């Protein structure tokens, strides 16, 4: 069942259910503290989602724009960083880079790692031209090989995964941007933090409940692509 952040009318939101489980009121565990707990849990969930399956490009459904951006391809520049999307969400990792040449043609770049380059890096693809490869120097920093010979407006298109759409304390109808099957985890995570902070008697019960929610999360993200047929490809070794 989908759960909104706050629903004081029906007492059914994350805020209200958190306090019910803790058996406290808003003076003991404020909405801002519940907000902080929910956002910490969202970060944890996002990390699981991104790391669990590279074939499934997870994104928080509350984001209103696709995780795709463009920036200028600058002549002679090799290094580019992509720290935030246009809405200010932190970019966690890059998943693909395309570049456009001066004629308007797009090319998908191949990934490469400096450990696989057998010559001095300063000598590798040193003549500027049309970029063919990119090395992911960090999660959101790349180096092009070769650097572009031309400056092209909007010449780099980058695809990425980012942080979730965070809650603020004034949210009401907003729901977590994940499957409703995982919404209860936000309640348990918030109640767990509150019980631990306040030293409540039901803390040990919430420890067990949090472990259950973590296991549910891991299982959910471990096998989401039911429409993808999984194949076992045998490794064939030559006898010659």
According to the model, what pLDDT value does residue 56 have?
74
Tokens 């565990």 belong to 29
**Mean pLDDT, rounded, for 107-130:** 93
* Phi, psi for 188 (deg, rounded to 5): -65, -40
Of residues 223 and 200, more confidently modeled: 200
Q: Mind giving me the DSSP string for 147-200?
A: PBSS-EEEEEEEEEEE------TT-SS---SS-GGGTHHHHHHHHHHHHHHHT-
Query: How large is the average pLDDT for residues 221-228?
Result: 64
Rounded Cα distance between 132 and 64, Å, is 32
What are the tens digits of pLDDT across the range 57-104?
899 999 999 999 999 999 999 999 999 999 999 999 999 999 999 899
Average pLDDT over residues 21-46: 97
Percentage with pLDDT > 70 across the chain: 92
With cut-offs at 50, 70 and 90, classify the pLDDT of residue 134.
very high
pLDDT at 43 over 60: yes
In this predicted model, what pLDDT tens digit does every residue of 147-172 receive, in sequence order?
999 999 999 999 999 999 999 999 99
**How high is the pLDDT of residue 167?**
98
Domain residue limits, the chain: 14-59+165-222, 68-162
Percentage of the chain with pLDDT > 90? 84
Q: Tens digit of pLDDT for each residue in 7-30?
A: 999 999 999 999 999 999 999 999
Beta-strand relationship, 133-138 and 110-111: parallel
Mean pLDDT, range 22-51, rounded to an integer: 96
pLDDT of residue 53: 63
pTM for the full predicted model: 0.86
Kind of pairing between the strands at 91-100 and 106-108: antiparallel
Using the predicted structure, report yes or no on whether residue 237 has a pLDDT greater than 80: no
- Mean of pLDDT over the chain: 91
């Amino acid at each position: 069942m989908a759960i909104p952040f706050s629903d004081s009318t029906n007492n059914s939101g994350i805020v209200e259910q958190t306090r019910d489980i803790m058996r406290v009121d808003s003076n003991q565990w404020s909405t801002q503290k519940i907000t902080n707990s929910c956002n910490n849990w969202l970060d944890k969930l996002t990390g699981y989602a991104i790391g669990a399956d590279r074939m499934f490009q997870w994104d928080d459904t509350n984001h209103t724009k696709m995780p795709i951006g463009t920036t200028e391809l600058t002549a002679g520049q090799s290094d580019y960083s992509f720290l935030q999307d246009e809405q200010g969400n932190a970019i966690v990792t890059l998943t693909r880079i395309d570049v456009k040449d001066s004629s308007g043609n797009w090319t998908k770049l191949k990934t490469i790692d400096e450990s696989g380059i057998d010559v001095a890096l300063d000598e590798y693809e040193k003549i500027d031209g049309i970029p063919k490869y990119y090395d992911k120097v960090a999660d959101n920093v790349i180096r092009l090989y070769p650097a572009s010979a031309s400056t092209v407006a909007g010449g780099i298109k980058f695809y990425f995964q980012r942080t979730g759409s965070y809650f603020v304390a004034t949210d009401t109808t907003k729901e977590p941007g994940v499957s409703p099957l995982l919404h209860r985890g936000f309640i348990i995570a918030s109640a767990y933090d509150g019980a631990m902070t306040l030293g409540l008697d039901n803390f040990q019960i919430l420890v067990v409940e949090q472990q259950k929610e973590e296991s549910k999360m891991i299982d959910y993200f471990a096998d989401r692509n039911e429409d993808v047929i999984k194949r076992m490809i045998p490794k064939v070794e030559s006898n010659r």
